[in-house]
Structures are given as structure tokens and as C-alpha cells.
Amino acid sequence: SQQGEEDPQALSIQEGENATMNCSYKTSINNLQWYRQNSGRGLVHLILIRSNEREKHSGRLRVTLDTSKKSSSLLITASRAADTASYFCARGSGTYKYIFGTGTRLKVLA
Amino acid sequence: DVKVTQSSRYLVKRTGEKVFLECVQDMDHENMFWYRQDPGLGLRLIYFSYDVKMKEKGDIPEGYSVSREKKERFSLILESASTNQTSMYLCASSLVSFRSQPNTGELFFGEGSRLTVL
């Protein structure tokens, strides 16, 4: 499959805890992006990390990229109930395609 | 605020009907995409357009066609809807020219159109 693999498929944590989601892929990339999707809605872009970057931060989000292991992780610190959503990684493929993983469903309990 | 608008949030159609899903973006983006999203399968690319009247097949184009007559509008057409086309359809756009900087653009998504074919 060309799709990335997110791990875990589902994650349930208490408010205030950190949430970590992982994404693995098989072929080389020029960048990797993370998106969030609230239930029944469209996807919203969170962060893009380029292949020559190892770590990137945006507010409570921290993304790491290990190209030697072909993996990326998304860390959400001090999670809130509003972070409940599905999270997808997407990698560029060829010139215009973006390959999306199947997502991690995160539930943050208040 | 950037905006991608899909014409219908929910549609119910009958097998064999012709279905139009419309998508409009107000950001002057070059690239527009149609994805379908199914549980356990993630997002799969149906068609892509990088310019007016230009289109490229994605991974699952069978049973679909597209039209891009104006830069801001990208339509997905199901010529004869079938039950296996019941799905969530997502339109997206991106600014960056893939010819100069492949896959470096953020995708902006619409809210989705949930289609049920009976």
C-alpha cells in the first residue's frame, strides 16, 4: 500500500496529558504534513515538516521526522477536550499527489 | 479567511442517477483535488487539476469525471451513481505550483459532501 500508517489507530487520554501519534511511510519524501479532522468535517492543516528538518513546533504541537526510519511523530502537549479529532499524516508523492494515512482517532476525556 | 466551499453537505441519490458535486475556492489557487474518504481506507485521490481545463487521474478515477472551466470551480461528476460510491467526498485546493515546488503546498479542504446512493 502507498498509504502511510498511523499508529495507534485510536487513543484515549485524560485532559492535560500528552498525546503522541506516529506515522510511518515507505518511500522517500520531500515533506510530510499533519492534518486534523473533526468528526464529519473537512481536514485542517496543522504543520508541515520538510525532509531536511528534524523537529518543528507550533503552539502545543511538536512534530519530529526521522527520514532514516521513515517515520514521523506528532506530539500534542497538555491536551484539551477540543483536541478530540482524527489526525492524519500526508506525504508528497511524485509531483502533485499527497498520500494520506488512515488516521489516529484521538479522544480527550474531560 | 481562505475558503473552500462544497455545494452540498449531504446528498441522497438513487442508483443510476447523475450526480454533480461542486467545489469553489476563493483563494486563486492553481491546484484543486477531489478525494473520497472511507472508514479504514483513509483519503484516496480521485482527480486532480493544476489549471483551468487541465486534469489528471488520481488513484481511483473509475466511475468519475471532473470539470474545471473556471479557476475557482472544480466539479466532480458521477455519470451513473452506484451504491459503492456512497462515501464522504472532500475537495481541496493548494496554491503552490507543483511544477516548481512539488508537494510543498498546504491543502485547504472544504467541509465535505456526504453522498448516500440507494
The 10s digit of each residue's pLDDT in A32-78 is: 999 999 998 999 999 999 889 999 999 999 999 999 999 999 999 99
* Nearest CA-CA distance, residue B100 and chain A, Å: 9
**pLDDT for residue B72 is more than 90:** yes
Say how far apart CA A39 and CA A84 lie, in whole Å: 9
Whether the CB of A39 is below 8 Å from some CB of chain B: the reply is no
Measured at the alpha carbon of residue A45, what is the angle toward residues A31 and B4, in degrees to the nearest 5? Answer: 120
How far is Cα A21 from Cα B95, in angstroms, rounded to an integer? 28
As a whole number, mean pLDDT of residues B61-75 equals 96
Closest-CA residue of chain B to A92: B103
Contact between B102 and A98 using a beta-carbon 8 Å cutoff: no
Chain A residues close to B104, C-beta within 8 Å:
30-31, 48, 50, 92
**In 3-state terms, what secondary structure has residue B83?**
helix
Tens of pLDDT, residue by residue over A70-102, are 999 999 999 999 999 999 999 877 777 788 988
Q: Is the model's pLDDT at B32 over the cut of 80?
A: yes
Residue among A69, A11, A94 nearest B104 (CA): A94
pLDDT grade, residue A1 (50/70/90)? very low
Report yes or no: A65 at the B interface, CB cutoff 8 Å: no
Higher pLDDT, A28 or A96: A28
* Per-position DSSP letters for B39-62, written without gaps between them: TTTEEEEEEEEEETTEEEE-S--T
- Å from A110 to nearest chain B CA? 26
Q: Is A43 on the interface with B (CB under 8 A)?
A: yes
Task: Determine the Cα–Cα distance for residues B91 and B19; give it in Å rounded to an integer.
Answer: 15
Angle formed at CA A91 by CA B24 and CA B75, multiple of 5 degrees: 20
Question: Which are the contacts of B39, defined by CB distance < 8 A and separation ≥ 6?
Answer: none
Distance in angstroms between the alpha carbons of the first and the last residue of chain A: 37
A1: nearest CA partner in chain B: B41
Strand partners, A39: none
CA distance B80 to chain A (A): 25
Q: What number of H helices and E strands is found in chain A?
A: 0, 11
Q: Kindly determine whether residue A98 and residue B110, on different chains, have CB atoms separated by under 8 Å.
A: no
Among A7, A51, A96, A104, the strongest candidate for a mutation testing the B interface, having the largest count of B CBs within 10 A, is A96
CB-closest option in A50, A91, A96 to B48: A96
Omega prior to B102 cis, within 30 of 0: no
